[in-house]
Structures are given as structure tokens and as C-alpha cells.
Amino acid sequence: MPVPPSDAPDLPNAKFFYEFNDISEACNLKTSQSPSGRSHCVCLRGNPLSITIAPSTPTELPLVSMPSRHQASVAKKDLHRPVYIGDSQGLRETLPTLKTTVSGQEPMKNFETLPPLPAHGQPLMFADLFAGCGGLSLGLSLAGLNGVFAVERDKMAFSTLSANLLEGRDVPVPQFEWPSWLERKAWGIDDILEQHPLDLSRLKGKVHVLAGGPPCQGFSFAGKRLESDPRNQLFEKYVEMVKAIQPAAIVLENVPGMKVAHKAKSWKEEFGLTKVKPHSYYDKLVESLNSVGYEVLGKIVDCSLFGVPQKRPRLIVIGIHKDLAGHLRGGANRAFELLEEARLNQLQELGLPEVVSASEAISDLEIKHVGTRPCTDPSSRTGFLELAYKGPRTHYQTLMHQGSDGSMDSVRLAKHKPEISERFMRIIQDPECVRGGLMSLAQREKYGLKKHRICLMHEKNPAPTITTLPDDVLHYSEPRILTVRESARLQSFPDWFQFRGKFTTGGKQRTKECPRYTQVGNAVPPYLARAIGQAIKLVLKEAMATANQQTITEPEQEILAIA
């Protein structure tokens, strides 16, 4: 095919000429053109796939003269850039990049620059950004992925992650394969991007999945939803990390509010005088990730459908490298189809019903069953009591207790004043108080509650959303708030998972520290993350299998356009 010298700026003329010569010689076609001379076109006489693009006289090669087996396959060369073909004044076209091996026996494949994935039998490797205490990391590890590193700025939260996934404990999941160049400490994502750009770039092909959940307080409907909240900008750092590492797949978890635009409508929008739609941070995220090579889709899922005993709607964003997404039926949406398959498989594998109730999750932690004793947790102040655990009572509790040595931490009980406990008991016994939902203004006024958000649990239903504030939720049968361990159970953290740091904090420190209640409330439920990890494994396997199966097998299609 003719390639005028002036029309192929991305491919040196001499290089193209010699590559063209390789094909010609292998096909017994003689040519005496030099790199600077007029270009030739080759076609097969009688082959319907042979075409001539550009006004030039083709050299015909009889179909019978083709060798039964290619004598010298074209050497692998850098042919990844599109080549423009046509004459210097007329037609230009762009052909897909192809690597061609002529053969009468072997199928021909359409090779693309696909993200490197591990060899057969080797696990996918992931990194976790904004990792918190490690809920997302734990779930991906339970799904069979291996962690490389995790980024978390808060020292308490990172200490918890480290205790479970970095320090070599005998636990049912693999420990992180932490890189030698990265100090094992609490890092801010901006610090790593600034101090280790070259090290991060060397992780290309070694980190296959990049996960993360940027802080959600600026998006959350439970908060003030300030557009100026600096935490709202952290997803941009996530995108920078994606660009640096270029994984095969990305996963991002956040609150549904990320999909809602913060910007108030202008008067023009109020009167329908403009069709410009305000952008949410989700919209901005999709645009940013699309610009760095990913097909992205986000959907809101209910965690309670994944075996998590908690009504917790979350926005799950999955991105697939475009070179892989092109081989998936439905693109990134295929990941959510496989997530549904993974959800059903997970319930079956774990032997869980469609819905796990609050009492099925934490009835073995009721005071009336286990009793109390003085708190022995080294991070607790004196004067507190803790639950004296005796063992699981339901199937879900048995699952949570697997891998534990019989004990667990974070079972310290809140120290309520007598009048507070009495008020809570009246609420529990009041038939007019709605269970499982937020108390109404009238109910809060009736009991002198100043908090605008307080919920009495329903023992037969999944718990309400566990937040970072321990007094948001009241126990369904005992006049108290939940322990950290009970909150963790409702998030699907196993009992062997240790929590470190303070139990609570207050005042000005609330925005600076991440104590245990906050760690649990901010976490991605591990059972949700486990299903996501299974879906990512399936979607990458399917994309690669489809890419490898896209072959041309008919004899009359043995010659492809060389560009």
C-alpha cells in the first residue's frame, strides 16, 4: 500500500520500507524501490480482502504463489502508532495496528497493547489508596488478590491496617508485599506522588488493580456537603496515581452523594433557559479517568445484598483499561453484570441468606448472654467494662469468628450515666418509636434528644448505616450504643481483625484523628469488597480470553493490510 514520505510523520520512511521489504521477500515478491522512491501496493489476485487505497498501480501476487508456510515471520517491531496512508494530496485513512504472521495453518490474531496481567495461576496484585483501616484491602485479599502497598494518612487507621495486613500475623489472608523503596508508615497520597514518581512508574504491570475510597464527608448527605471541602479534591490525586501506575482495572468506593452535583442551580437553570447540567464529582471523575485511558462506570449498590448485615448504599465505580474494555460485551457495564454473579456466588459459598439481620450478626455480644468484666484493652482508660465473649450463636457469627483464637478486641462498653440508660430503655419499650429508621422530630423532642440523627435498630432487619459517630445508633434490645466490635460485625469485619488507636475522640481532635469508631464507620464492608474482587478477577479474565480468541481463520483472509 502506498505510503508517501510526507504522509507518514510517525513512522520513518526507511523503517517502513525495510519492514515492507521483509513481507515482500517472504512472499517471493521482488522490489527495487528505495525508501525515497514511489511506494508500492500489493494485492492478491482474486482475493476479495485485497484492496488498494490511493491512486497507484498495484503489483499483483497470484494467490497460488503464496508459500504454504511463512519462511521468515516479520520481526516484532514498534508498530503501535497509526499509519496514515494515501497520496500527498488526497485520501488519508487510519488503519488499526496489526502484527502479521503469514501462515497457511495458524490463525492470525489482532494484537493490541494490552495491560500486563499475571501469568496463569498467579494472583492479581492491588494497591489501596485512602485505605483507612483496611476494609477494602481485606475484602480484595479474601477474594484471592494480593496487596502491594496501601496509602493512608491517619496514623491510627494505618496502625490498624498494619496490624492485620503488614506485620506477618497468622491470619487467613496474605500479607502485603510491601515495596522496599516505600517506608511502612502513614502516607498522604500527595506525599508519595511528590517523593516517589519514578518508583511508582516502575509499578506498571506489577499493580493490576488500583483501589481506593477518597474521604466522603464532603459528598455525604449526612454531612454539610460543602463544595469547598478540600477532601473533595482528593479524587484528583487518585486519578494522578492511576495515570502513574496504569493498572488494568480500577475500583473506587464512595457515598451516593458523589453522584449529586453540589452547585446550586442558577436562575437560568431554574427557568429552563439553559441545558447545561451541573457536574457532580462523579462526572468529573469519569471525565478525568476517561482522559487517561479508562472506560468507567459507577452504580449504587446496597451492601445488605452481599451478606453485610447493614443497609448501606454505596457508589461503586469500576474502570477498565480501554484496551481491555473493548473486548468486553457492554464494556465497563460487564463488570457490574459479573458483580451480580459474584454476589450470588458469594452468598452460596458462605451459606448466607439474601438478608442477614442485626440480631443474627451481634446477638452473641448481648450483655444478657455473655456478661461483663473490667476492660483489659491497653488503649482504654480505666473504669470501663467489656463483654466477656463466650462464642458464636448463629451461622453468620460462626463465619465472623473463623480464624480467631477465641478472643477479640474492641468489646469495650460505653459508660452511660444512669439517666441516659433509663432514657434509652424507654425508647426501646415505646411502641411508637420507629425501629430501623431515623427517629422523628416529635420522638426526639419527646425524649429530649438534641441529635438530629439517631436510629433505634430493628433486630429482624439489617442494621442502619454505621457512621463514624457511635451514638447515631441504639441497640435493639439493650439500653446502650454499640461497641466497636458490634459495629465491625455489622460491617462484616471478622473477629480476628484487630483495631488499634483510641476508641473515641472529640472536640477539635475529631477532624484530626481517626479513632476506632471512625475507622469502622469509614470502612468499605469487607464482604462487599470481596465480591468486587471476585468480579474484577472475572472481568479481566474474560477480557483477555476474548482478546486472545479474536482470530481470522478462513484461508482467504490470510493476508492483512500492512501499515
Give every CB contact of residue 530 below 8 A, 6+ residues apart in sequence.
139, 140, 142, 143, 306, 346
Phi, psi (5° rounding) for residue 125? Answer: -105, 140
Edge to edge, the sheet with strand 249-254 lists 146-151, 125-129, 209-212, 249-254, 313-321, 294-302
35 DSSP assignment: T
* Spatial separation of the C-alpha atoms in residues 348 and 306, rounded to whole Å: 11
Tell me the helix, strand and coil percentages in the chain, rounded to 5.
35, 15, 50
- Distance of alpha carbon 114 from alpha carbon 145, whole angstroms: 20
Give the number of other Cβ atoms within 10 Å of residue 270's Cβ.
10
* Contact call for residues 387 and 483 (beta carbons, < 8 A): yes
Residues 217, 399: Cα–Cα separation, whole Å: 31
Cα dihedral 102/106/107/108 (nearest 10): -30
Catalytic residue among 216, 303, 455, 514: 216
43 is catalytic: no
Q: 248, 281, 286: which is closest to 262 by C-alpha?
A: 281
Cα radius of gyration (the chain): 30
Q: Say if CB 516 and CB 484 are below 8 A apart.
A: yes
Active site residues: 216
